[in-house]
Amino acid sequence: MTYVVTDNCIACKFTDCVEVCPVDCFYEGENMLVIHPDECIDCGVCEPECPADAIRPDTEPDMEKWVEFNRKYSEAWPVIITKKDQLPDAEALDGVEGKLETHFSEAPGEGG
């Protein structure tokens, strides 16, 4: 089992989760984070830290696409271990539907 980041992180990018991860398995894109599914140890400490409720266990229904999504981008983006400010429109876009199609960027973040 692993945890994955889902589309509610897009355009929010709260980073509360990265500080509690004991294995540093979060990776930073321009406007979201992902978890490397092979590095995640299934400890679950990140899930309650996410203000956007964007971190889910892969055992929930329809999570297969998010496992592969997280794998793909964790292999392309830099690791992030330090909390940063959320994106400027994070609170306004929290919970907005369809952000994968309308707001997602494949560009890497800065990491750090």
Domain limits for position 69: 1-82
Q: What pTM was computed for the model?
A: 0.96
User: What residues contact 43, with CB distance under 8 A and at least 6 apart?
Assistant: 22
Asked whether residue 87 is assigned to any structural domain, the reply reads: no
Map residue 19 onto helix, strand or coil.
helix
Per-residue pLDDT tens over the stretch 43-85: 999 999 999 999 999 999 999 999 999 999 999 999 999 999 9
CATH number for the domain spanning 30: value is 3.30.70.20
Residue 95 lies in a domain: no
Residue 75 belongs to a domain: yes
CB 52 within 8 A of CB 8: yes
The per-residue pLDDT for 5 is 98
Among 60, 58, 81, smallest CA distance to 71 is for: 58
Is position 22 within any domain? Answer: yes
Q: Is 35 within the bounds of a domain?
A: yes
For residue 91, being part of any structural domain is answered with: no
How many domains in the chain?
Answer: 1
Is 103 within a domain? no
